């Protein structure tokens, strides 16, 4: 379990303002969490504080009871925390097969690379020998990145807006991919997203605004609240009429 206790993050400067304010959250094994809320609400900062890109000004972060608050990104990665970038990096001269083998290097016997590709909705035969470069579409690249995250056999995987830059058709397949991996893998998945299709995958939804957790509950309760509430959680203002 990953636990954030009274985590605050202040950006130093002449005014120095609080980006995250007294965040208390628990993320349990095998669950999917969706973090949503208006732009600038602190979602990406939350992801960065989990990864160790930012260090909290106050508060504690615990992984399975161990205090990891002052650990570096590398140490946290070793402990099983991973982060998927909004735009996945592309590597010149590396084949999909090699990328996945590198990702799986600490448990090579356990990982079947063909199965991994299948789990993210790609046919292994077609992709193993492809270069990880601009010849891959956004949706293909995103799914290969998810496969590398799965290959690492992580405890916690954070995906920041996986829908970004993906067309609607690929996006529907991506949502199915997350649903499949949730059934098959033990990794706790934290998805930052504005998409209802992604929210539908959640065991629990967390709404962040103004650096605070403004709501957190089981999916259906939150989704019902969003439907019935004038001040909705999505970044687009609803037009009523
Ligand atoms: P979200 O992902 O929900 O859109 P962010 O976590 O990216 O929100 O940002 C929350 C707020 O913190 C925004 O006002 C953003 O400008 C600010 N912020 C984030 N990181 C920094 C930083 N390194 N320096 C200054 N302000 C930052
Ligand atoms: Mg945003
Ligand atoms: Mg963001």
**pLDDT per position as a tens digit, 54-69:** 999 999 999 999 999 9
Q: Residue 180 pLDDT > 60, yes or no?
A: yes
What gap in Å lies between CA 177 and CA 143, rounded to an integer? 8
With a 6 Å cutoff on the Cβ, whether 44 touches ligand 1 is yes
Cβ count within 10 A of residue 237:
9
User: Given pLDDT bands bounded at 50, 70 and 90, which one contains residue 98?
Assistant: very high
What gap in Å lies between CA 42 and CA 237, rounded to an integer? 19
What gap in Å lies between CA 227 and CA 241, rounded to an integer? 15
- Measured from the alpha carbon of residue 37, the closest ligand is 1
Mean pLDDT of 155-179: 84
pLDDT greater at residue 229 or residue 77: 77
Q: 3-class SS at 132?
A: coil
Q: What percent of the chain has pLDDT over 90?
A: 49
How far does the centroid of ligand 1 lie from the alpha carbon of residue 200, in Å? 26
Q: What is the pTM of this model?
A: 0.87
With a 6 Å cutoff on the Cβ, whether 11 touches ligand 1 is yes
Identify the CATH number of the domain defined by range 30-38+80-228: 3.40.50.300
Q: Residue 86 pLDDT > 60, yes or no?
A: no
pLDDT on residue 89:
65
**pLDDT per position as a tens digit, 11-43:** 877 677 899 999 999 999 999 999 999 999 999
Task: Quote ipTM for the complex.
Answer: 0.96
List the chain domain ranges: 30-38+80-228
């Amino acid at each position: 379990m990953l636990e954030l206790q009274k985590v605050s993050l202040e950006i130093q400067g002449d005014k120095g303002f609080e980006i995250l304010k007294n965040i208390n959250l628990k993320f349990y094994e095998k669950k999917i969490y969706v973090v949503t809320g208006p732009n600038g609400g602190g979602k990406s900062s939350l992801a960065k504080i989990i990864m160790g890109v930012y260090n909290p000004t106050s508060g504690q972060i615990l992984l399975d009871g161990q205090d990891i608050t002052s650990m570096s990104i590398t140490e946290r990665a070793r402990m099983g925390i991973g982060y998927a970038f909004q735009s996945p990096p592309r590597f010149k001269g590396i084949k999909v097969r090699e990328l996945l083998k590198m990702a799986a290097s600490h448990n090579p016997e356990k990982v079947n690379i063909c199965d991994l590709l299948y789990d993210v909705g790609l046919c292994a035969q077609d992709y193993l020998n492809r270069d990880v470069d601009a010849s891959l579409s956004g949706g293909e690249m995103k799914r290969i990145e998810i496969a590398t995250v799965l290959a690492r056999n992580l405890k916690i995987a954070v995906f920041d807006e996986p829908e970004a830059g993906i067309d609607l058709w690929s996006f529907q397949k991506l949502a199915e991919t997350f649903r499949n991996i949730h059934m098959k893998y033990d990794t706790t998945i934290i998805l930052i997203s504005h998409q209802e299709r992604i929210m539908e995958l959640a065991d629990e939804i967390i709404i962040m605004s103004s650096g605070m957790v403004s709501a957190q509950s089981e999916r259906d309760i939150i989704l019902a609240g969003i439907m019935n509430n004038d001040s909705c959680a999505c970044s687009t203002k609803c037009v009523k009429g």
